[in-house]
Amino acid sequence: MLTLYGNLESGNVYKVRLLWSFLGIEHRRVEVNQVTGGPSSAAFRRINPMGKVPAVKLVDGRILSESGAILFYFARSTGFWSPDPWVQAQILRWMFFEQYSHEPAIAVNRYIRRFMNEDPGLAGKLEENQKRGLFALSVMDQQLLRQDWLTESVSIADIALYAYTHNCNEGGFDLGGFNGIRRWLSRFEAMHGYVPQHEETSAEPVSDLAAEA
Ligand SMILES: N[C@@H](CCC(=O)N[C@@H](CS)C(=O)NCC(=O)O)C(=O)O
């Protein structure tokens, strides 16, 4: 069975759990939590030298990390990817946008506000990320006012961007004025196989990473 290293709080891990849930792919999850430093531990770095979750152990023992690479690997022959090179490029375009313009502002502000007690030394960072995050949301909203999904049909780009958009209020972002995004969130959550972030999807969750490494 596939093994997923990560935790329920991580949006990057949630992307993989969402895709697998839509595709009906079973896995076991080994708890590795960024709030307690799990990804940078020596034990986890033996599994993923990049020191980040998610990471996936395939059934043949190979390890794959980086949420976008994992999404591609499991979606490549499904409807969440496309045989058309132009559409493939559009999917990648939104996924790269997520990694550079969306997640570093929106997910980071959520993390600061939820787990760092709004450290006053981070006020400037929160403010700068607020501007960058609102810009990223406005770019998504413009696209989603024109069409149902980020590309011509639902894809791993929607999964990648759903993960940190659906709970962006936790980072201080208000979706009140973003009608395109709000309708897209409802459409996404109505899909067969959708699972809320904190609902366990692992057949066999494991809490002891040391015993695994
Ligand atoms: N680009 C990576 C980012 C992964 C990432 O930042 N993961 C966080 C959890 S959401 C992490 O492992 N943080 C631990 C750390 O930075 O020490 C991906 O998309 O998978």
Q: What is the pLDDT of residues 101-124, one digit of tens each?
A: 999 999 999 999 998 876 778 999
Q: What is the 3-state secondary structure (H, E, C) of the chain?
A: CEEEEECCCCHHHHHHHHHHHHHCCCEEEEECCHHHCHHHCHHHHCCCCCCCCCEEECCCCCEEECHHHHHHHHHCCCCCCCCCHHHHHHHHHHHHHHHHHHHHHHHHHHHHHHHCCCCHHHHHHHHHHHHHHHHHHHHHHHHHHHCCCCCCCCCHHHHHHHHHHCCHHHHCCCCCCCHHHHHHHHHHHCCCCCCCCCCCCCCCCECCCCCCC
Residue 211 pLDDT greater than 90, yes or no? no
Residue of 34, 95, 111 to test ligand 1 pocket, by largest number of atoms within 8 Å of CB: 34
Kindly report, residue by residue over 13-50, the tens digit of the pLDDT.
Answer: 999 999 999 999 999 999 999 999 999 999 999 999 99
Closest ligand 1 atom, CA of 65? 20
Residue of 40, 53, 114 to test ligand 1 pocket, by largest number of atoms within 8 Å of CB: 53
Kindly report, residue by residue over 179-197, the tens digit of the pLDDT.
Answer: 999 999 999 999 999 999 9
52 ligand 1 Cβ < 6 A: yes
Kindly report, residue by residue over 52-73, the tens digit of the pLDDT.
Answer: 999 999 999 999 999 999 999 9
